[in-house]
Structure 1
Amino acid sequence: MHAWEQIQLTLDYIEGHLEEEIDIQELAKLAALSPFYFQRLFSRLVKKPVAEYVKLRRLFKAAEMLPQSNRRILDIALQVGFRSHEHFTRAFKEAFAITPEEYRSHPQALNRMTKPELALHYTLIDEGVPLITDGTVLEVGRRRLAAPLCFVGVEKQMPVRFVEGLGTASGVDPLDALWRGLHEQKEAALGIPEDSEELGVSYPSRDTRYFTYFAGAKALSEKAVPGFTSWLLPQGEYIVCSFEAESFEALVMDALYKAQQYMFGVWLPRHGLQTEPFCAERYACHGPQTTSMEIWLKPL
């Protein structure tokens, strides 16, 4: 068994036992490693110490339960493994910058710790061959865009550390607010049908500490719209990563992160390919009913 497979066993075990006491000695035994080497390998592959990872996954489970239940917050805290209301509230606020009570009153998208699928770091798939892992189906192929496509929308500068920490519990997801703002103006201000195709694009900013994220809808024309930003998806050959998930939330919070990590960390380097400095996310619609999307990358 490869080292990453041993750690994946423990990740799967943790996911199924978040409501129980999780002992590092038992995890190390499951991985067939000494506790010392297990913790070193886990931190190296997951980028988090074991205890921190378990805490963040418990917080995510609690965040899922809070808006959907009238149960006492203390009962939810105890169910996911926290010792007290105070301990849970402190950890929740440190991770998400809001209290459990505030989140229950005003639920919003949280940037959280995604359960890693380490196979995506070590498995190279051929074009047109689907890879299925933990509820995510991913496939890579090539497409040609015969003519450029124009999108109009809004954009926001984001610190690079946001990308580096994507999938971790680091507060409210600011891109969710950007998309909500677009949807509020899409039909009324832009005259674009609600169900029209949408595009999210990440590209470098002049200040290397930041990148720019654009959220837009397919434009009715290429004419500039005052107060909005336009993005032209160039014509030409593209590498396209298509994937789907069980829900919209899983799609944009888990599957998208994993697909991007796979493409930039494994697939492109192993094929000796470099791409134009933008990553385009194509959606039929960036909304609750959507469970599939595509990443479009333009090779140099």
Structure 2
Amino acid sequence: MTVVQRAVWYIESHSGEDLSLADVAGATGVSAFHLARLFRAATGWPVARYIRVRRLSEAARQLSEGASDILSLALSSGYGSHEAFTRAFRETFGVPPEDVRQRRHLNGLPLLLPLRVVQESSAPAPALRVETIGPLRLAGIEASYLASDTAGIPSQWQRLHGEGSLDSHRYTYGVCSATDSEGRFTYLAAYGIAHARQARAGHRHLHLAPQRYLVVRHEGHVGSIPRTWHALLDRWLPAAGFTAVEAPDFERYDAAFDPRTGYGGVDICVPIH
């Protein structure tokens, strides 16, 4: 059973408890930081948001069956008041809880069912290598995303390439940095600079200190890179005896990568101890 499978099982079997990311991580035997990164790579959901929407989905089911005490339902769902529960319920499903109780059905509600995490075949790990990378001074176009909706990332790269040629840069970088408990993260489509004057107007600057990274080459189309991320974090990294550290990770694109076709290979770089 994978780490994410164990996490989903723990969440579902302890749904009536006040769960945190740290609780779930402790039950699965990994750090909270590692679980957050792995869960997002495997499911597209941040752990905290998955827990919350699953609880609201269960509350909706109970309301459709005629649950009479909304305050008790709110408290058992992790909310401290009727008002907080109603606000979260409406933001998630578009209707207040009273409406679901009155109409006695769930038709049209975007409920979240328990995730089924399919055990992937244990493909052999590709060549893994350790590199010390940095310091890196980067600049580029930054945007914020929920893990479940990253469709805007290709347009960041299109804008960056459209603003001028990047052929003079040995590498370009897609840097991910976690920002909040919801799993919202920032993604920087970036190029290297030697000093701030080289950055284009309006671009975000980022400095990364020297750091050891576990590096793996993703072959094939860039659209399938989430599968390589998942395998690296879930199987290849721990099997190689490494532990990820809390620092930005990134994809490194070199001259072999063709942004027009999405082919050419990409290095995935995960910071390690």
TM-score (norm 1): 0.45
TM-score (norm 2): 0.49
